[in-house]
């Protein structure tokens, strides 16, 4: 991503990062046959871009910038800037060489600005899905190949598994990080999970049984940076590997599985997903960080559904996603729910989207009990609400004003000065350019 996700809770005296979509949080498309120069700020590079496409090479460059203000609530009022630039090269090796080869992908990102969701906001879920530590780093590096008449697709390399697992297409409308990569794995897995910017060595399989059924599986390293789960000096562990080239295989293995089903109901398309993950590593006890537990797991379900069509281009879509685990002794967040609606092409403006979303993350009862024993407020549920509008100003420039509300940040905690963190009103402006 140039998107990160999640925040480590103040119970750890830290926060976790947010999920970042920069080089792409959405599933990738294959190399196109032609680029319309009107959709890129830099055009066709004098014909060079389409010549490269004819050889099987697609170069993608995007830049994202955001301004945020928190005039009400949190530990104190604040104004913040964050941004990211992503460069990706996708190569169709069959088109390039004429051999029966697949696709090679390499991408990198430059991240700038100062994270602000840990402090002064003190939230479980980060305000922005591009918020991360200020670094320039390798993002993804993978090779993919299809077999069995293209029913089976294999991808191997350094992967962002948030492209394939636990993702809602409607949820990607929103800027709050928990709508892209869910708040639960972002807080409960090493390095906030196998998502941008800390991607992981992995192998991913996708089997397409029919146009309606897909089956996905992935096996990955659960902590490629090799840092501790709780790191007060570097909560997200991103500065331990600022270039994105360090890999450690000393912690455990992380497995994902997901079943996807698509169906049209009276001309309204729906996608339904059921999945889960299992981690063989060790995780700190929520009551006593000196103790740890072997393995971790969670299950989830997602629904993306078209509700209604208004004319030829305007559509109302909705999503709901739930995550749950019974391992309350080793997980900071034990269940989470989010959902929302998105109206595409409002006011008959093709490319625009109006969205309203909400969600919650529930702290572990073991963590709440430890807070009470320490004389601190017991952490409970954090609630987030977002109203956003994506305006496609030009084919290559999108502007998105955004309003968020956070109720009970981190389930009700104290800031560094021992004062209760108040409910927050947050205003943002997001802009993205495709070069």
pLDDT tens for each residue of 117-144: 988 999 998 899 999 999 999 999 999 9
Residue 336 Cα to chain centre, angstroms = 15
What is the structure's pLDDT at 36? 86
Contact 383, 351 (CB under 8 A): no
**What is the percent of the chain where pLDDT is above 70?**
93
In 3D space, the residue among 4, 334, 377 whose CA is nearest the CA of residue 178 turns out to be 4
User: What confidence score (pLDDT) does residue 134 get?
Assistant: 92
What is the pLDDT at residue 402? 98
Domain boundaries, the chain: 3-434
- Phi/psi at 369 (5° precision): -65, -40
Q: Pick from 223, 234, 235, 171: which is nearest to 199 by CA? A: 223
When computed from its CA atoms, the radius of gyration of the chain, rounded to whole angstroms, is 21
pLDDT value of residue 34: 80
Peptide bond into 94 cis (omega under 30): no
Region 86-113: what's the mean pLDDT? 96
Residue 178: name the closest of 229, 124, 216 by CA: 124
Q: What are phi and psi of 49, to 5 degrees?
A: -65, -45
Dihedral sign (CA 361, 134, 243, 110):
positive
pLDDT at 3: 37
Q: What band does 97 get if pLDDT is binned at 50, 70 and 90? A: very high
The pLDDT, as a whole number, for residue 10 is 29
- Check residues 5 and 343 and name the one with the higher pLDDT: 343
Cα separation, 373 vs 284, whole angstroms: 18
Average pLDDT over residues 179-194: 95
Residues 300-326 have a mean pLDDT of 96
Which residue bears the tokens 């319309």? 36
Q: Is the pLDDT of residue 27 over 50?
A: no
The share of the chain scoring above pLDDT 90, in percent, equals: 81
User: Which fold does the domain 3-434 belong to in CATH?
Assistant: Porin (2.40.160)
What tokens appear for 11 in the block?
């119970």
Q: Which residue has the tokens 């629904």?
A: 303
pLDDT at 99 over 70: yes
| Residue with the larger pLDDT of the pair 339 and 38 | 339
* Position 208 pLDDT exceeds 90: yes
pLDDT the model gives residue 384: 97
Q: Identify the band that residue 28 occupies on the pLDDT scale cut at 50, 70 and 90.
A: very low
Residue 44 has pLDDT above 90, yes or no: yes
- Give 118 or 59, the one with higher predicted confidence: 59
Cα three-residue angle 165-167-169, rounded to 5 degrees: 140
Q: Given this model, what pLDDT does residue 248 score?
A: 81
Instruction: For residue range 210-230, list pLDDT tens digits in order.
Output: 999 999 999 999 999 988 998
Which has the higher per-residue pLDDT, 231 or 18? 231
Per-residue model confidence (pLDDT) at position 231? 86
pLDDT number for residue 25: 32
Mean pLDDT score of the chain:
90
Residue 387 pairs in a beta bridge with: 356, 403
pLDDT tens string 229-278: 988 888 888 888 889 998 888 889 999 999 999 999 888 999 999 999 99
**DSSP class per residue in 153-194:** EEEEEEE-GGGTSS--TTGGG--SGGGTS-HHHHHHSGGGSS
Query: In degrees, to the nearest 5, what angle opens at C-alpha 337 toward C-alphas 19 and 307?
Result: 100
What pLDDT does 1 receive? 36
């Amino acid at each position: 991503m140039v998107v990160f996700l999640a925040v480590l809770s103040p119970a750890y005296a830290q926060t976790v990062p947010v999920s970042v979509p920069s080089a792409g949080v959405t599933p990738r498309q294959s190399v196109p046959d032609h680029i319309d120069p009107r959709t890129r700020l830099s055009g066709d590079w004098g014909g060079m871009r389409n010549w490269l496409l004819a050889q099987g090479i697609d170069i993608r460059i995007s830049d994202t910038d955001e301004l945020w203000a928190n005039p009400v609530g949190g530990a104190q009022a604040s104004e913040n800037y964050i941004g990211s630039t992503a460069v990706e090269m996708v190569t169709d090796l069959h088109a390039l060489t004429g051999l029966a080869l697949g696709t090679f992908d390499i991408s990198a990102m430059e991240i700038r600005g100062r994270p602000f969701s840990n402090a002064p906001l003190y939230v479980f879920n980060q305000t922005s899905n591009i918020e991360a530590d200020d670094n320039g780093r390798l993002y993804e590096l993978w090779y993919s190949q299809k077999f069995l008449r293209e029913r089976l697709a294999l991808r191997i390399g350094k992967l962002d598994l948030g492209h394939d697992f636990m993702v809602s297409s409607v949820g990607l409308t929103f800027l709050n990080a928990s709508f892209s990569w869910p708040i639960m794995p972002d807080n409960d897995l090493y390095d906030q999970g196998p998502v941008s910017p800390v991607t992981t060595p992995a192998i991913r399989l996708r089997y397409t049984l029919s146009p309606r059924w897909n089956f996905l599986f992935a096996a990955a390293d659960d902590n490629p940076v090799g840092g501790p789960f709780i790191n007060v000096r570097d909560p997200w562990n991103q500065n331990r590997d600022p270039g994105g080239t360090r890999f450690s295989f000393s912690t455990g293995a992380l497995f994902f599985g997901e079943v996807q089903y698509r169906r049209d109901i009276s001309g309204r398309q729906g996608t339904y997903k059921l999945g889960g993950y299992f981690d063989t590593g060790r995780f700190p006890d929520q009551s006593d960080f000196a103790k740890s537990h072997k393995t971790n797991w969670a299950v989830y379900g997602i629904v993306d559904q078209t509700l209604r069509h208004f004319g030829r281009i305007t559509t109302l879509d909705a999503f709901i996603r739930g995550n749950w685990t019974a391992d309350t002794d080793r997980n900071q967040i034990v269940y989470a729910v989010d959902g929302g609606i998105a109206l595409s092409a409002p006011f008959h403006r093709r490319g625009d989207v109006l969205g309203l979303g909400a969600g919650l993350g529930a702290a572990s009862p073991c963590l709440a009990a430890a807070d009470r024993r320490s004389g601190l407020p017991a952490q409970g549920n954090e609630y987030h609400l977002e109203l956003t509008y994506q305006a496609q100003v030009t084919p290559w420039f999108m502007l998105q004003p955004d309003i968020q509300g956070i109720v009970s940040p981190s389930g009700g905690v104290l800031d560094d000065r021992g004062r209760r963190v108040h409910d927050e009103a947050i205003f943002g402006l997001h802009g993205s350019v495709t070069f």
